[in-house]
Amino acid sequence: MSGPLYGAVEAGGTKFLCMVASGPQHIVAQERFDTATPSVVLPQVIEFFRQTIEQHGKLSGIGVGSFGPIDLNRNSPSYGYITATPKAHWSNIDLVGPLRKAFGVPVAFDTDVNAAAVGEHRWGAAQGLDTFIYLTIGTGIGGGGMVAGRVMHGLVHPEMGHMRVPRDAEVDPFTGACPFHGDCLEGLASGPAIEARWGKPATAFDANHPAWKLEADYLAQAIVNLVCTVSPQRVILGGGVMQQAFLLPMIRERVLSLLNNYVQSPAILSEIDSYVVAPGLGPQAGILGSLAMAME
């Protein structure tokens, strides 16, 4: 027997993933919906859970990991909402309320990257660690993780994707795609930023294309900033753009070169291959992380 069933939702800028499972080895249903408008997707998500419950029985809880910004303040009237996102139609959208109303179970809610971090901590590349970073490089760039065993929250939640990284305008004249900041990290290195700079999607370039040297440089700068501020025991890089397998070794090399032997830990100096890593759960990190949040 496999224990109680939980629901999970990963709300992404491109796709919504839904799952019902009692653990990564016991998945009873899974579905993917395009991120159309809320009035289309949210009923699809609720219908998915309704049908699965009919077939397999009730859920003990639901976990939602969402693109942001989101409201995580439990005392706020807009707790559980996506707040002021640049994504059209998705500002001020209640994600938690409709699920709670439809199924009457506890709904855990966090950023997609904090969810992925919880999943990686429980089942993936961050097992046994208490301070680590999870970055996703996809439609947007987001970062989360744990510090001293606690999921990173604060005033709101980290917005690592919008940190500034130096851009040399002679090397990279592209002024950035972030509607708020232009050339912040997300504005320079997200999938859409790559496409806007080079006029073709990120999937179109081979390993030798200059797009990747630039990409590795911006991501390495961000990682170095995080190493210097958070002192993570590991940095996990997920998201669609990281599916280019040659990117990870390029980033590691650039991290070492930018740090220039300053942070004196063997974890970095001699074990960089296990310091900057892909998610142990692969593309399932986000959705399994939402499941882990529901269970916890």
**Chain residues in the site for ligand ADP (CB under 6 A):** 12-15, 138-139, 191-192, 201-203, 239-241, 243-244
Q: Is 160 in the site for Zn ion (CB under 5 A)?
A: no
* Nearest distance in Å: CB 158, ligand ADP: 17
Give rounded-to-5 percent helix, strand, coil for the chain. 40, 25, 35
Question: Which range in 66-74, 105-113, 178-186, 274-282 contacts Zn ion by CB under 5 A?
Answer: 178-186
138 binds, among Zn ion, ligand ADP, none (CB under 5 to 8 A by kind): ligand ADP
Residue 45 interacts with which of ligand ADP, Zn ion, none, CB < 5 to 8 Å by class: none
| Closest approach of Zn ion to the CB of residue 143, in Å | 13
Beta bridge partners of 237: 135
- The conformation of residue 179, written as its DSSP 8-state character, comes to T
CB of 63 to ligand ADP, least distance (A): 16
Residue 289 binds which of Zn ion, ligand ADP, none (CB < 5-8 A, kind-dependent) = none
CA-CA-CA-CA torsion sign (15, 16, 22, 27): negative
**Count of residues that bind Zn ion according to CB under 5 A:** 6
Q: Which residue(s) pair with 84 in the sheet?
A: none
What CA–CA distance (Å, rounded) separates 95 from 84? 14
CB of 162 to Zn ion, least distance (A): 4
18: closest CA among 46, 59, 39?
46
- Of 147-155, 156-164, 234-242, 272-280, the window that binds Zn ion (rule: CB under 5 A) is 156-164
181 binds Zn ion (CB under 5 A): yes
Spatial contact of 265 and 255, defined as CB atoms under 8 Å apart: no
User: Minimal distance in Å, beta carbon 201 to ligand ADP?
Assistant: 5
126, 145, 161, 239, 244 from 135: Cα distances, Å: 13, 8, 8, 8, 15
Q: In the numeric block, which tokens belong to residue 250?
A: 């390029």
Grouping H, G, I as helix, E, B as strand and the rest as coil, residue 236 is strand
- The length of the chain is 296
- Nearest residue (CB) to ligand ADP, 207 versus 269: 207
What are the phi and psi torsion angles at 93 (to 5°)?
-115, 125
* Binding site partner of 73, from ligand ADP, Zn ion, none, Cβ cut-off 5-8 A by kind: none
Of the pair 184, 247, the CB lying nearest Zn ion is at 184
- Residues 6 or more apart whose CB falls under 8 angstroms from that of 1 comprise none
Among 180, 207, 213, 257, binds Zn ion (CB under 5 A): 180
Under rule CB under 5 A, residue 87 binds Zn ion: no
Residue 296's CB is within 10 A of a number of other CB atoms, namely 13
Provide the binding-site residues for Zn ion, judged by CB under 5 A.
Answer: 162, 178, 180-181, 184, 186
